Structure 1
Amino acid sequence: MNGFAKTPEPPYYAVIFSSQRSEDVAGYGEMAEKMVALASKQTGFLGVESARDEGLGITVSYWDSLESIKKWKENSAHKVAQEKGKSTWYQNYAIRVCKVERQSFFEM
């Protein structure tokens, strides 16, 4: 995941996933990569951006509709990852769903 997601002109939706991981992160990286690959094949997926430091991680995925977000949340493989996150990988997390109404970019 390098650079900014190539999103269309608004409106579209963003799912912001903020997390603090636990000390047990065995298998986390592999699952995260698998989820990005799987999400990118889902109808309505527009892109993803992610950043993490030692304490806080933020991943923003972009979607064309609320229905696409709902279908991703209900994806069976994604549900397995969600449960593993709750039971093992995360101390806590927050999910926020937003409608993007305006965007601008700066490039050199």
Structure 2
Amino acid sequence: MSGYSKTPEPPYYAVIFTSERTEGDKGYGKMADKMVELASKQKGFLGIESARDEESGITVSYWDTLDSIRKWKENATHKVAQEKGKSLWYRNFALRVCKVERQSFFEM
């Protein structure tokens, strides 16, 4: 299944981050790559999927527990990125945390 995270059998959690960007990169791309690399090393991280065009994007990260999500939110480097997001990179964003209870996949 290329393009999709290989998640375990549910239940697990999804953090859905939708955003509308400001103009210009302003270091965003480099920080986004750094956040994916850092998150992937966090205990409880299960995977990530992301899509973006010039203005808006959606990123879904998958975690084993709510505690893992909380620890990621509190990560010091992630907090720096959060603040830069509010002050520099995003016009607006929404964050949703969901429990995944069922999943199915299709492959050709």
TM-score normalised per structure 1: 0.96
Contact 2:22 2:55 in 1 (8 A): no
Amino acid at match of 1:85: G
Show structure 1 runs of 4+ deviating over 2 A.
Answer: none
Q: How many residues align?
A: 107
RMSD: 0.9
Shift of 1:53: 1.6
Structure 1 residues 6-62: Cα deviation after superposition (integer angstroms, max 9, x where no partner) = 100000000000000011421000000000000000000000000012232000000
User: Is 1:58 aligned to residue 78 of structure 2?
Assistant: no
TM-score normalised per structure 2: 0.96
Structure-2 residue corresponding to 1:21? 21
Distance, in Å, in 2 between the alignment partners of 1:106 and 1:60 is 19
Structure-2 residue corresponding to 1:101? 101
Structure 1 residues 73-93: Cα deviation after superposition (integer angstroms, max 9, x where no partner) = 000000000000000000000
Structure-2 residue corresponding to 1:6? 6
Unaligned stretches of 5+ residues in structure 2: none
Matches within 5 A, 1:22-61: 22-61=22-61
Unaligned stretches of 5+ residues in structure 1: none
Structure-2 residue corresponding to 1:80? 80
Identity of matched residues, %: 77
Secondary structure of the structure 2 residue equivalent to 1:87 = helix
Contact 1:25 1:88 in 2 (8 A): no
Classify 1:15/1:79 alpha carbon distance in 2 versus 1 (closer, same or farther; 3 Å).
same
